[in-house]
Structures are given as structure tokens and as C-alpha cells.
């Protein structure tokens, strides 16, 4: 049986059957044995599929780390101290993104080339995954070591039911807002995935709940009396973002 680990509110993190206080002085995470299992899976996957890993130049690494550092800097009270992250781009025709609790964030080349047209939406993805990594928000699964792993096995750890996803969407909204980035990009990302539900079916595992996620997140924005004005994707992206896309 799988267990979902999720921050239910600003004060309680459910770890298995035990609630713990979160905050500036305490950074809740998955138990170490699960982190180690998932890290071993990640290492095994990268060794098996080495030919699919796209090289990231130093300038792009600096750009990616800069986005993450800014989010951590302005949200330390929620995220704890900055973590070292690894960014991995896989040469794959399917659009997807996910992370592992050890601090690795994966993107597919198809996602970035075909679907993410602006930096603001890309920043939303990073904010979502940083929140998940910082709070150990993953499916808890015992993995039997077979000496082989698959992309589906890795991404399954990151798939969550829609009600849990919406809570993370809300947190990403606030992380972006506090960082001086565009928080409405979270809604734009949800709408992109919803519009291309069939293409993102591998990413989601199922796509029947996508409309519900969008509805619930829009309701959150309205309830909070937040602006629904969405920025144009063709504007305000930096040179670092365009260099990332050109390098794929």
C-alpha cells in the first residue's frame, strides 16, 4: 500500500500516521530509508539511460540554480534552508516533469520545446517541485531492487491525487508571489496540461481529474480575491530561458 506524504496546512505535515510541526526551525522530510531508495533508483535510471540525458552547459546550470535560489531566499520560513538541487533534462518525445526527494528535478525535452513557451510557466514548475522536495511530498513505496528501473517507476513516486495536487498548487502560487515571480503561472501550467490532456497522460497517470484541478485552483484564486489577469507568454522571458530552449 502507498502512503501520501503531504503538508495539509501551514502547521501540520502528515508523515505516515504521525503529524509533525513544520516551520523555519524544522524541515520535515521522508524517512531516510525512502530517500535512499529513491536516490538509488535515480542513480540506476541515469546510468541505464545515459544516452538520453542532455548535457546542460554551465550558463544554463547557473540560470536554473538562480531560479531555485531566489525561491528559497524569499520563502525560507516555508521551505527551510536552501537545498542543493540537480536538474536533469531527458531527451524524450513525451511531455513530463517530476522530482525525487533527494533533490533531483527532471524535465523532458518535449515539455520544454513544445509546451512551455514562457519563463513564468517554467518557474512555476520549479516552484512546485521545490515545494515537494522541501516537504517530502511523495508517494511512499517500498521498491524491490531488481537492478533495473524505468521512467514510469520514477514518475509514479511523484503522482498525487487531485486534491493533494491542488494544495501544492496553492503553495507554489505563494512561493512565486513572495519571490517576485508571476503566481498566475501556476494556473497557466494547469491549463496547458489540461488542454493537452492526452499528451500529458503519461505525466499524470490519468487525466480525468485535470478539469477538477483547474476548477479547484480557480476557486482558490477567486476566494482569495486574487487577480486573475494572466501575463502574455510571449513577453518577459529572460535570455537564460531562451538559451535553455535553444540548447535542447
Specify the number of domains making up the chain: 1
Give the C-alpha distances (Å, rounded to integers) separating 200 from 110, 114, 210: 11, 12, 10
pLDDT tens, position by position, 189-243: 999 999 999 999 999 876 557 788 999 999 998 887 665 565 555 567 899 999 9
pLDDT tens readout for residues 36-78: 788 888 888 899 999 999 999 999 999 999 999 999 999 999 9
Q: What is the pLDDT of residues 100-140, one digit of tens each?
A: 888 999 999 999 999 999 999 999 999 999 999 998 888 77
**What residue numbers bound the domain in which 219 lies?**
3-246
User: How does strand 104-108 pair with strand 86-90?
Assistant: parallel
Whole-structure pTM value: 0.84
Identify the burial level of 176 via C-beta atoms within 10 angstroms of its C-beta, where 0-12 means exposed, 13-18 middle and 19 or more buried. Answer: buried
Q: Where are the beta strands (DSSP E) in the chain?
A: 3-4, 6-7, 12-15, 18-21, 86-90, 97-100, 104-108, 139-140
Amino acid at each position: 500500500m502507498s502512503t501520501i506524504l503531504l503538508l495539509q496546512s501551514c502547521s501540520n505535515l502528515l508523515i505516515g500516521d504521525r503529524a509533525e510541526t513544520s516551520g523555519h526551525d524544522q524541515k520535515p522530510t521522508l524517512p531516510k530509508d525512502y530517500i535512499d531508495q529513491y536516490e538509488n533508483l535515480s542513480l540506476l535510471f541515469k546510468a541505464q539511460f545515459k544516452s538520453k540525458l542532455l548535457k546542460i552547459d554551465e550558463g544554463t546550470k547557473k540560470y536554473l540554480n538562480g531560479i531555485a535560489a531566489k525561491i528559497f531566499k524569499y520563502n525560507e520560513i516555508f521551505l527551510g534552508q536552501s537545498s542543493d538541487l540537480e536538474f536533469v533534462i531527458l531527451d524524450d518525445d513525451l511531455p513530463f516533469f517530476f522530482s525525487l526527494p533527494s533533490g533531483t528535478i527532471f524535465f523532458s525535452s518535449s515539455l520544454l520545446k513544445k509546451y512551455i513557451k514562457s519563463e513564468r510557466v517554467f518557474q512555476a514548475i520549479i516552484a512546485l517541485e521545490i515545494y515537494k522536495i522541501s516537504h517530502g511530498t511523495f508517494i511512499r513505496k517500498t521498491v524491490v531492487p531488481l537492478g533495473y528501473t524505468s521512467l514510469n517507476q520514477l514518475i509514479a513516486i511523484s503522482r498525487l491525487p487531485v486534491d493533494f495536487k491542488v494544495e501544492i498548487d496553492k503553495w507554489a502560487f505563494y512561493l512565486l508571489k513572495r519571490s517576485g515571480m508571476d503566481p498566475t503561472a501556476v494556473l497557466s501550467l494547469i491549463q496547458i496540461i489540461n488542454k493537452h490532456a492526452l499528451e500529458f497522460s503519461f505525466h499524470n497517470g490519468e487525466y480525468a481529474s485535470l478539469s477538477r484541478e483547474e476548477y479547484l485552483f480557480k476557486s482558490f484564486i477567486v476566494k482569495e480575491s486574487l487577480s486573475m489577469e494572466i501575463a502574455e507568454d510571449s513577453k518577459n522571458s529572460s535570455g537564460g530561458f531562451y538559451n535553455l530552449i535553444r540548447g535542447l
